Amino acid sequence: MVKVANSMGGMQQSAIRAMTARCVEVGAISLTQGLCQVPPPASILAEGARDFKYLGHSYSPAEGLSVFREAVAGKLKRYSKLSVEPATEVVTTVGATGALMAALMAMLDAGDGVLIFEPLYGYHLSALRMLDLRPEPVRLVAPDFEITEKSLRAAITSQTRAMIVCTPHNPSGRRFTEAELLSVSGVAEEHDLLVITDEVYADIYFGPTPHIAPATVGNLGDRTLTISALSKSFNMSGWRLGYVCGPERLMGPVRIAGDALVGCAPTPLQEVGARALMLSDEYYSDLREMYDVKRRALTEGFAAAGLSPNEPEGSYFLLVDCSRMGVANGVEAAEILLKGSLIGTVPGEAFYLSQPERPYVRACFSLPDEVLADAAERLASASLQKSCR
């Protein structure tokens, strides 16, 4: 009998995709997967439709088209204060997931330990397991999901070679402060760790303080691979355009790994995506204002149901404490929400290696306003309301 790879042992469909499928089955509003159900910029769609037949339709270089890499470098300089050389320090990838896989394959060996903050994003964990890397969890301190140097140091082992930092954080929406990132810098330098940052939500934040790119803090620039994508900032998740940036000495192996994985990212979409990366400041301020309205609408819906949503500083997710439902865990809470209000959420357990301290569910608010209004109304009038008070 044909044998399945050992790396697939224990692997299964993500809880996010499983709950998304259940929402379809029962006709529920899905607040599960970050599908970006908001249209991409109209000007970019119009230009892409107009020019598509004139764009390149063959392979691009493994590192991506120069026009795309130059646009990435320009955007990072303007909005993240991060300087990278587009010719040698940027590699285009198939989404942020492709960037992460290329970085891990290029820089780490089977059995190496990788610090990963929990609650965690499930695809980060899946990537580690697929490559036979050792996830080493660092618990963020609830309810504010803070990094503490004590917990970071306690997680270090003789096998630790890297850490993954996601900011703004999925699933909590926390934006790590300069003080927290200085702690990361100190520990990484002391133990000579590679740092991989996932910054796909960098443009979606609430409040006046701009995004802090970890590579600009302390001594992290010399040891950090910065990952992002067009998926969230431009609502182009299906375009699968991502990128990874870092010191030139690290990017050669990353380019080779990316080439081995997929050859190249979609060439014509790179050309159109470069135009998106050059949109004006007004686009980004409008984006944040739009998501702030959506955030408040869904927050009010969960609060009306007697639950306790957090106040995310970035991303488009709420992490909702369902303790007042009297449930034992997030799995039970998600089931009650699905059956009692036809609202699909993701149990908090999907984002932890061990049991969360509270019964959380995650809810996505990257949805049309009318859908969020419907969801809020269902939550406020559902049968679970009485059990919460």
Kindly report the number of other CB atoms within 10 A of residue 143's CB atom.
12
Question: Does residue 4 form part of some domain?
Answer: no
- Phi then psi for 371, rounded to 5 degrees? -70, -40
pLDDT > 70? residue 337: yes
What is residue 13's predicted lDDT score, i.e. its pLDDT?
A: 67
pLDDT of residue 259: 97
Interacting residues of 335 by C-beta distance below 8 A, sequence separation 6+: none
Domain range holding 136? 54-277
What integer pLDDT is reported at residue 4 of this predicted model? 81
Q: How far apart are CA 66 and CA 88, in angstroms?
A: 10
Which CATH number is 156's domain given? 3.40.640.10
Return the C-alpha torsion angle 277, 209, 206, 279, nearest 10.
-20
Q: Is residue 68 part of a domain?
A: yes
Residues 336 and 308 in one domain: yes
pLDDT-derived band at 269, boundaries 50, 70, 90: very high
The CATH number of the domain where 23 resides is what? 3.90.1150.10
Asked if residue 212 and residue 64 are part of one domain, the reply reads yes
Q: Give the residue from 277, 294, 326 where a domain finishes.
A: 277
pLDDT (mean) for 292-319: 96
Residues 367 and 254 in one domain: no
State yes or no: pLDDT of 345 exceeds 80: yes
Instruction: Give the least confident one: 8-22, 165-179, 223-237.
Output: 8-22
Answer with the residue of higher pLDDT: 383 or 146: 146
**64 part of a folded domain:** yes
Is 168 within a domain? Answer: yes
What integer pLDDT is reported at residue 335 of this predicted model? 94
Dihedral over alpha carbons 382, 383, 385, 389 (to 10 degrees) = 180
Percent of the chain with pLDDT over 70: 97
Domain identity same for 84 and 188: yes
Query: Do 177 and 323 form a contact (C-beta atoms < 8 A)?
Result: no
Burial of 126 (0-12, 13-18, 19+ CB in 10 A): middle
Bridge-based pairing state of the strands 134-139 and 113-118: parallel
Measured in degrees and rounded to the nearest 5, phi and psi for residue 196 equal -115, 125
pTM: 0.94
Same domain, 220 and 265: yes
| Residues 111, 132 contacting (CB under 8 angstroms) | yes
- Boundary of a domain, candidates 215, 243, 277: 277
196 and 340 housed in the same domain: no
**Backbone region of residue 365 per phi and psi (left: phi > 0; alpha: psi in -120 to 50; beta: other values):** alpha
Beta strands in 156-211, from DSSP E residues, in sequence order: 160-166, 194-198
- Residues 192-244: pLDDT tens digits? 999 999 999 999 999 999 999 999 999 999 999 999 999 999 999 999 999 99
Residues 34 and 94 reside in one and the same domain = no
Residue 247 pLDDT > 90: yes
pLDDT digit string, tens, across residues 87-108: 999 999 999 999 999 999 999 9
Contacts of 131 (CB under 8 A, 6+ apart): 7, 101, 104, 105, 108, 110
State the chain's mean pLDDT as an integer. 94
Q: Which of 243, 277, 311 is the last residue of a domain?
A: 277
The reported pLDDT for the residue numbered 386 is 42
Average pLDDT rounded to a whole number, residues 376-387: 74
* pLDDT confidence of residue 235: 95
For 83, the token pair is 């300087």
Q: What is the pLDDT of residues 104-116, one digit of tens each?
A: 999 999 999 999 9
**Residues 185 and 78 both lie in one domain:** yes
Question: Is residue 136 domain-shared with residue 201, that is, in the same domain?
Answer: yes
Give every CB contact of residue 46 below 8 A, 6+ residues apart in sequence: none
Q: Are the C-beta atoms of residues 212 and 244 closer than 8 Å to each other?
A: no
- How many domains is the chain partitioned into structurally? 2
- Burial classification of residue 158, based on how many CB atoms lie within 10 Å of its CB (0-12 exposed, 13-18 middle, 19 or more buried): exposed
pLDDT at 385: 45
Residues 127 and 259 reside in one and the same domain: yes
Q: Could you tell me which of 336, 329, 273, 328 has the C-alpha nearest to residue 305?
A: 336
**Segment 359-382 mean pLDDT:** 94
Distance of CA 106 to the CA centre of its chain: 21
Given a contact cutoff of 8 angstroms between Cβ atoms, the answer to whether 203 and 287 are in contact is yes
What is the H or E stretch that residue 11 is in? Answer: none
Cβ contact 257:107 at 8 Å: no
Q: Is residue 229 part of a domain?
A: yes
Mean pLDDT of 67-84: 98
pLDDT-based confidence at residue 37 (cuts at 50, 70, 90): confident
- Mark out the alpha helices in the chain (DSSP H runs): 15-26, 42-51, 66-80, 95-107, 122-130, 149-155, 178-190, 248-262, 267-277, 281-304, 330-341, 369-381, 384-387
* Predicted local distance difference test score (pLDDT) of residue 389: 44
Percent of the chain whose pLDDT exceeds 90: 88
User: Any idea which residue has 């380019």 for tokens?
Assistant: 255
Q: Do 104 and 223 belong to one domain? A: yes
Are 91 and 233 part of one and the same domain?
yes
Which residue has 């609430």 as its token pair?
206
